[in-house]
Homo-oligomer: A and B are copies of this chain.
Amino acid sequence: MTKEAVSIRDLNYSYPDGTVALEDINITIEEGERIAIIGQNGAGKTTLFLHLNGTIKSCDNNVVIFGKDIGQMKSKERIEKVGVVFQDPDDQLFMPTIFDDVAFGPINMGLDEDEVERRVRSALATVGLTGFEDRVPHHLSYGQKKRAALAAVLSMEPRILVLDEPTANLDPMNRASLIELINDLNRDKGITTIVAMHDVNAVSQLADRIYVLNKRMVAEGPPTEIFMDFDLLRENNLDAPDVFKLFSVLSCFGFNCESLPLSINEAVEVLTKTIEGDEKHVHLHIHEHTHEDLEVLMHRYDHHHG
């Protein structure tokens, strides 16, 4: 049986000025899962993340990490369990050198010098920044900063890795390599990964299960299920991945497949399988309801009338 990595029960949180940020949040995440939390700006993602590693303390002891209330943990234990990488790397790199930044967590954990050194080297190697120890973080490119910020959390060797918008503003190469890196950490080291993302086109590459947050948890399920639910997307100002939309369009032309793909790679698989399964060919045709279906579909995807 897998262990419960995160268990949140009836979490409520309001900002000091009284605005409700989180309401009745219930989450259970098993160890090793890949989770995405999606939701529009101001849905409460950052606030939730700050609860996850105890930076904001809930009074009701309702955030439990690996069976233990995070409010009861010492700082060292807390940050060893959950590492949070925030969106803007400039907010997280404030030391004069990359080494200092990556060593920051381990030093706060009270580790001895050799161990700090080892962890820094290892974290930098993981993100592909070996040799950057003495560089000034502020002078790096955006993609490098993003990876340095990740290294600065990996050096604490957390069991749960939380990332806020890991792919935002990255160019394709950096995005692809960061996604691969996060998945490697999940697969090879068994790290539970929780990402918050806007970019629905990349969500399915990083998550097997999605939570939709809008102050409350409005939905939960595998990506395909979430993206099928037009009303849910509309109400929460979310988009479906382009590939998914396109296959919905294809289905109006009579293309039938078991489950709609979410990425190009999945699309190739689905196409190959469907066509092979269907005596090597598939008919796309305009039937009685095609135009009508298309119209309904496109209207649903149109965010102007949201």
In whole Å, how far is A167's beta carbon from the nearest beta carbon of chain B? 11
Q: Which of B264, B272, B284 contacts A242 (CB 8 A)?
A: B264
Asked whether, in the complex, the Cβ of B286 is within 8 Å of the Cβ of A276, the reply is yes
The distance from the CB of A230 to the nearest CB of chain B, in whole angstroms, is 13
Chain B residues with CB under 8 Å of A177's CB are: 303-304
Asked if A302 meets B176 with Cβ closer than 8 Å, knowing A281-B285, A282-B285, the reply is yes
Query: For residues 232 through 282 of chain A, which have their beta carbon under 8 Å from a beta carbon of chain B?
Result: 237-239, 241-243, 245-246, 249-250, 253, 255, 264-265, 267-268, 271-272, 275-276, 280-282
The answer for the CA separation of A271 and B248 in the assembled complex, in Å, is 13
A interface secondary structure, majority:
helix
Say how far A287's CB is from chain B's closest CB, in angstroms.
9
Q: Does A40 contact B (CB under 8 A)?
A: yes
Query: 0/1 per residue, A109-148, Cβ < 8 Å to B?
Result: 0000000000000000000000000000000011100000
Q: Which residue of B lies closest to A265 (CB)?
A: B298
**Is residue A294 within 8 Å, beta carbon to beta carbon, of the partner chain?**
yes
Q: Is A108 an interface residue (CB 8 A)?
A: no
* Cβ–Cβ contact A253 & B271, under 8 A: yes
Whether A60 sits at the interface, judged by CB under 8 Å, is: no
For residue A173, CB closer than 8 A to chain B, the reply is: yes
Q: A27: which B residues are within 8 A, CB to CB?
A: none
Contact A267-B249, Cβ < 8 Å, known A171-B237, A237-B173, A276-B286? yes
- List chain A positions with a Cβ less than 8 A from chain B: 40-42, 141-143, 168-169, 171-173, 175-177, 180, 198, 201, 237-239, 241-243, 245-246, 249-250, 253, 255, 264-265, 267-268, 271-272, 275-276, 280-286, 291, 294, 298, 301-304, 306
| With A40-B171, A180-B304 already in contact, 15 other A-B pairs whose C-beta atoms are closer than 8 Å | A41-B143, A169-B198, A171-B238, A172-B239, A173-B237, A173-B303, A241-B242, A242-B242, A242-B246, A246-B267, A255-B284, A271-B284, A272-B291, A280-B285, A282-B284
- 21 A-B residue pairs with Cβ-Cβ distance under 8 Å, sorted by A, are A40-B171, A41-B171, A42-B141, A168-B169, A171-B237, A172-B303, A175-B303, A176-B302, A176-B304, A177-B304, A180-B304, A242-B242, A246-B267, A250-B271, A255-B284, A264-B298, A272-B294, A275-B285, A281-B284, A281-B286, A282-B284
